[in-house]
Amino acid sequence: MLALILVSLIIIGIATIVFFNNQNKSYHSERLLRKEKTIIMSLQYFFKDLDQLEKMDFVLKDFDDKIKELSDVNKIEINVFNLNGDILMSSKYDYSDPNYYTLKMDSSILSNLKTSKKRQVQNLNNSSVSTFTYVKNNLDENLVIINIPYNTQLSPVKNELNLFLTTLIEVYLFLLIGASLIAYFLSNYITKSLRVVGEKLKTVRIHKANEKISWEGKDEIGALVKQYNTMIDMLEESALKLAKSERESAWREMAKQVAHEIKNPLTPMKLSVQHLERSLDPNDDNFKAHLQKFSKKIIQQIDTLTSIANEFSRFAKMPKHELKKLDLKELLLSTIDFFKSKENTSFKFKDNNITTAFIEGDLDQLIRVFNNIINNAIQAIDDSVEGKILLTLSKNDSLFFVSISDNGCGIEEVAKEKIFEPNFTTKTTGTGLGLAMVKQIIDAHNGNIHFKSTVEIGTTFYIEFPITLEDEST
């Protein structure tokens, strides 16, 4: 709005200046012509009984007085030249002025005047002109040449342009102030309304009940609020459909994985029973030994099924963690002691001079975390290579850092993005829930876990725990 007013002011101002300049030129041109005609008519009346200028020597004094009179009345300069272009008299110069005798008509102007016998106009500059015209007697004979210099800037004309522009600026200044006040209150009204909508949009979440906006007006803001409320309804409906779809998809994936894992031990169990039916003879002397061997295989497969069921059960319903003060360093050392009997694998622990590392955690769940990671590290090391596993404990002002490194086969690039997903595994056996469970436990402890891995070189897992209790380490 303000810009529109300023642009209109500039356009009208430019148009006004151009119009007034054109009108000013036309006005001064007509004014000069009127004064020139008035002066010539007055002089012709003065010379009506004379035949030639030479015959009027006796009236030169009266002629000089007449020129000065006409100059005063018309407020304009008048110069009189004879027919040869020599100065006769002037309303501007005194006869004692040396410059008076230097005045002489331009030869080209005099020549053009004699040839065309019409009024000649000489442009001196942008604001000054000089006209030359014959004065005749009643016999239509040329007596003298009248020269009228004219300066538009010195003429006593009212400055209508300045007055108009001043008035125009005052009017537009009033409009600008008024428009500024209207724009200020209007923008406050609009921005306040938009701020309300913006704040509501910031709080919109897909898995929570979002509050609608109450708006009584039926203006553009009301239309925006109406669309927002409609969006909230659609979002809630979409969230319900999405949650339902996610649950159904998760159950389908879980069912497929459970079926696959259960199917694996069931197949050898079925084959063993069929083999038992065909080959075992109660009268055979080795019947008892064969039956014990068969029972052992069946029990192993049943234990495998039980282990699978337990893994899925633990992941599906993770026990609520009970946070207690525990020493992270002591937990790491006890985990190493549990695995250090593993053949062809050496363990090393660096504590960086940390004597104790107290955090709030669930001991059973954290044991499962470190057991799982170290067990995966051991399985990643080829039997032909001496395994080396390094555990490191460090800290800063707010976090404890645990790193677990191995020299195993590493993790392929295509598998890195899915390593913490449920049911994902790179092994030929297992449920694929181990690292997903680890990630779930670390998140529940407000920690963080990530890893770096290079194929054929090894993998390092990095775990962070917040120091939530006063640390007693040194």
**13 and 151 part of one domain:** yes
Question: Is residue 474 a part of any domain in this protein?
Answer: no
Say if residue 362's pLDDT is above 80: yes
pLDDT tens digit string along 61-75? Answer: 677 788 888 888 888
**Cβ contact 221:193 at 8 Å:** yes
Verify that 329 and 304 share a domain, yes or no. no
Based on the fold, state whether residues 386 and 459 are members of the same structural domain.
Answer: yes
Confidence of residue 292 (pLDDT cuts 50, 70, 90): confident
Residues 22 and 140 in one domain: yes
User: Average of pLDDT values for 11-28?
Assistant: 70
CB contact at 8 A, 365 and 324: no
Q: What is the pLDDT of residue 469?
A: 58
pLDDT at 390 over 50: yes
Last residue of a domain, one of 114, 142, 157: 157
- State how beta strands 87-90 and 79-81 pair: antiparallel
SS3 content of the chain, % helix, strand, coil (to 5): 55, 15, 30
What does the pLDDT average to over 18-47? 77
In a domain, 205, yes or no: no
The answer to whether residues 373 and 404 belong to one domain is: yes
Position 91 in a domain = yes
Element of type H or E holding 463: strand 458-466
pLDDT band at 156 (very low <50, low <70, confident <90, very high): very low
Q: Is the pLDDT of residue 411 over 80?
A: yes
Of 93-102, 202-211, 386-395, the poorest mean pLDDT is in 202-211
Name the residue range of residue 249's domain.
Answer: 220-316
Does residue 444 lie in a domain region? yes
Q: Is residue 245 part of a domain?
A: yes
For residues 38 and 152, state if they share a domain: yes
Q: What is the pLDDT of residue 203?
A: 67
Please give the average per-residue pLDDT across 275-279, as a whole number.
64
With 0-12 / 13-18 / 19 or more C-beta atoms within 10 angstroms meaning exposed / middle / buried, residue 271 is exposed
Region of poorest pLDDT, from 30-39, 114-123, 127-136, 182-191 = 182-191
118 and 35 belong to one structural domain: yes
Residue 52 vs residue 232, higher pLDDT? 232
Question: Tens digit of pLDDT for each residue in 328-358?
Answer: 999 999 888 888 777 788 999 999 999 999 9
Residue 366 covered by a domain:
yes
**Would you say residue 429 has pLDDT above 50?**
no
pLDDT (tens digit per residue) in 182-231: 777 777 766 766 676 677 666 666 666 666 776 666 666 677 777 777 87
Q: Using a pLDDT cut of 70, give the percent of the chain over it.
A: 66
Are 246 and 151 members of one domain? no
Clarify whether residues 311 and 332 are in a common domain: no
Q: Residue 308 maps to which CATH number?
A: 1.10.287
Q: Which of 80-89, 127-136, 300-309, 345-354 has the lowest mean pLDDT?
A: 300-309
Domain end, chosen from 256, 284, 316, is at 316
267 in the same domain as 142: no
Assigned domain for 197 exists: no
Q: β-pairing, 387-395 with 345-350?
A: parallel
**More confidently predicted of 338 and 18:** 338
Complete DSSP assignment for 261-323: HHHHHHHHHHHHHHHHHHH--TTSTTHHHHHHHHHHHHHHHHHHHHHHHHHHHHHHTPPPP--
Q: Which whole number is the average pLDDT over 293-321?
A: 64
Please determine, for residue 251, whether its predicted confidence score (pLDDT) is greater than 70: no
Tens digits of per-residue pLDDT, 143-152?
888 888 887 7
Q: Same domain for 331 and 310?
A: no
Question: At 377, which amino acid appears?
Answer: A
d(CA 247, CA 316): 13
Positions of E strands within 76-178 = 79-81, 87-90, 120-123, 128-136, 142-151
pLDDT for 159: 56
The string of DSSP codes covering 169-220 is HHHHHHHHHHHHHHHHHHHHHHHHHHHHHHHHHHT--TTS-PPP------SH
pLDDT of residue 53: 46
Instruction: Report the pLDDT value the prediction gives residue 347, as an integer from 0 to 100.
Output: 92
Identify the residue with better confidence: 160 or 25: 25
* Res 389: pLDDT: 93
For the domain that residue 432 is a member of, what is the CATH number? Answer: 3.30.565.10
Q: Which of 368-377, 385-394, 410-419 has the highest mean pLDDT?
A: 385-394
Tell me, yes or no, whether 293 and 401 share the same domain. Answer: no
How high is the pLDDT of residue 340?
79
Query: Is residue 331 helix, strand or coil?
Result: helix
Lowest mean pLDDT of 81-85, 136-140, 246-250, 342-346, name the range.
Answer: 246-250
Give the model's confidence band at 300: pLDDT under 50 very low, under 70 low, under 90 confident, else very high.
low
**Helical H runs in 75-159?**
107-116
Is 166 contained in some domain? Answer: no
pLDDT in tens, 367-379: 888 988 998 888 8
Number of domains composing the chain = 3
- Mean pLDDT over the full length of the chain: 76
Asked which of 253, 285, 316 is the last residue of a domain, the reply is 316
Q: What is residue 351's predicted lDDT score, i.e. its pLDDT?
A: 93
Residue-level pLDDT at 274: 66
Tell which wins on pLDDT, 354 or 312: 354
